[in-house]
Each structure stands twice: as structure tokens, then as C-alpha cells.
Amino acid sequence: MRTIRAFVIFGLIVPIMMSANAPRAAAQDATQSWNSLAQPAFDPAKSATVENVTLARDRIHITLSSGTIQFTQPVNGMVFGAAFRGRGRAQVEPPNPIEAQQLNLFTGRAALDMEFSEAVFTFSDNTLEEIAKQVRWSSAAGDSALSRLYADRIREREDVGAEILSRLFVSLLSGDRKRTALFAADLKTSDKGWIHVRFDATNPEEISVGRWASWGPVTRFDTWTSFPAGNRPVAEAFRDPLARDAFRIRSYKIDATVTTGADLRAVTQVKFVPRGDGDRALSFLLDANLRVESVKDPSGA
């Protein structure tokens, strides 16, 4: 695998997405793909009335009892989103008493069992194919309200610093979409507002449930439960905590100055080795108070 050096002047927003030694044309394609994910077009031909449609991801079980669903148009061959309005039910059975106790603290129940009226799905797995087997596509023009629901939820997530959009971008430009598979469901409940249920193949604990909550001026994701898939013990999942990292950082070289006004400015050279073949995007988590001025490859591009 190639060793890549990146020069970063910190800041902007977290996380940063960048292509690794990609030619200019590929970088332009990546920019277009990012914009298409951020402002998706919905496909009127992929709209359907649903009745008892089910989705399962390990211990996550979602039922779309009745209502309407519509999917986005593909980007780089991948359909990545859908919006639903109607009646649905989300269930998650914890794998052990500790996780059941955690859920009980937040929800008053030892297992998640909530009804929802709206849902926004973001995914890079076979969600479209699963649902397509259970519905008949409508010949109508689709529901513009569903595309607005999806766009509004994207904006709300980005406003609180959620990384769903960039995480989806990593999957889109991945050389192995099974290794980077993502299924994320934002579900609007009557008593807890929007909750977030996720299966993320890049995390040691693939399954997580929670919601974004505010404590004064700070809004953060409040995790209700998080655990490995496949009934794996937590100790096994974290035996090698870096096993699923997309890259390994070899070194940092930081050239920093601090002004009399306590402003910090830094140029950081990061040397890292990508671990996956064909990945065109890597995600870096930076402090939210930093602002990026530029990201450059070794040639200065």
C-alpha cells in the first residue's frame, strides 16, 4: 500500500473528507458526488405504498406497518437514501443485562420498542433491494413532501455536528462497500422525538441507538445502547481496537504559533498508510473549534 503525506491547516468542520493521491478529474467527481449526497434528488419511479414491510440488521428490527416510502436517485450507481411517512415500529433487543439496564435508564424499558410516524433512512447496503422485494412501485409522480422530509433531516443532523453525510461519502467511494456498509435510521417518535438507530460495519460495536440531545449550549449524541453484532462479547470486539480503521497514522509533524490574542495557527504534516484497496475517501475527526484553510497532497495540489 502507498504511504501518503497530507498537509493540513486545521479547522472547518468535522470530519474532513479527502481523496488520497487522486487525480484532479477524480477529485472533481468526488466533489460532485458529495454535492449529490448533500442535496439528493428523489426518484419518482421508486415510490411505493408499504404494508408490513420489514428490515432487520442483527438485533435491529424495523417494521413499516403502513404508509408511503420513496428513494433517492443513485449516485455513482448507489441508491443511498429513503424517506417514509406513515406508521412504523422499531425494536432492538439488548444482548445482555448491562445494555438492557442502559436502555431502561433512557426509555423506561429493558428493550427498545417504539412506534414512529416518519423515518429517514441513510444506507450503503442492500436496503433498496430488500424493500423492493416487498412492495410494488407506484406509477404516480412521487411525494415531494418526502424529499423535503429527507432534506430537512439532513440539515438538522448537520446543524448538530452529526457525521452521517461524511460517513456515507466514505462508503460511496470505498473499494469494498461490504466492509464499509452503513444502515442508519432516523425515526420520529411521539415521546422521544427523533431517535437514531444504526448498524455501522466500520465500528467494533456495530449497533447503536440514541438521539441528539442538548445540555445548555451543547448538543451531543446521547447513546442509549451500543454493542457488537453477532452476539460477540465486547472484549472480543475490542481485542484489536484498530482492526477496522481505514488507515494507520505513522506520524505527525506540527508547526504551530500562538498569537497574543490566544489564537492558534498550525500547519500539520500527517503521514499515514491506507489499509483498504480502492478507497478514495478517508475521514478525519478534528476538534469542532478548529477551522481548515486547506488540505494538500505532497505535490502541493
Mean residue pLDDT of the chain comes to 87
User: pTM value?
Assistant: 0.87
The whole-number pLDDT of residue 274 equals 86
Mean pLDDT of 203-232: 93
The whole-number pLDDT of residue 230 equals 95
Looking at the chain, the whole-number percentage of residues with pLDDT higher than 70 is: 90
Highest mean pLDDT among 159-168, 197-206, 269-278: 197-206
The whole-number pLDDT of residue 145 equals 92
In the predicted structure, residue 24 carries a pLDDT above the cut 90: no
In the predicted structure, residue 13 carries a pLDDT above the cut 60: no
For 236-253, write each residue's pLDDT tens digit.
999 998 888 888 889 989
Give the whole-angstrom CA distance, residue 125 versus residue 132: 13
Measured from the Cβ of residue 101, the count of other Cβ atoms closer than 10 Å reads 12
Q: At residue 126, what are phi and psi to the nearest 5 degrees? A: -100, 30
In the predicted structure, residue 162 carries a pLDDT above the cut 60: yes
The model's confidence at residue 25, banded by pLDDT at 50, 70 and 90, is low
For 93-104, write each residue's pLDDT tens digit.
999 999 999 999
The whole-number pLDDT of residue 301 equals 85
Give the whole-angstrom CA distance, residue 51 versus residue 66: 5
Mean pLDDT of 41-61: 95
CB under 8 Å to 88, separation ≥6 — which residues?
A: 62, 63, 64, 65, 67, 115, 116, 117, 119, 187
Give the whole-angstrom CA distance, residue 93 versus residue 229: 12
User: For residues 82 and 70, is the Cβ–Cβ distance under 8 A?
Assistant: yes
Q: Select the more confidently predicted residue: 129 or 142.
A: 129
In the predicted structure, residue 11 carries a pLDDT above the cut 70: no
In the predicted structure, residue 226 carries a pLDDT above the cut 90: yes
Cell numbers linked to 51: 404494508
The whole-number pLDDT of residue 2 equals 41
Mean pLDDT of 185-196: 96
**Per mean pLDDT, which range of 88-97, 137-146, 190-199, 244-253 is the poorest?**
137-146
Mean pLDDT of 37-61: 95
The whole-number pLDDT of residue 196 equals 97
The whole-number pLDDT of residue 163 equals 87
The whole-number pLDDT of residue 281 equals 87
The whole-number pLDDT of residue 143 equals 77
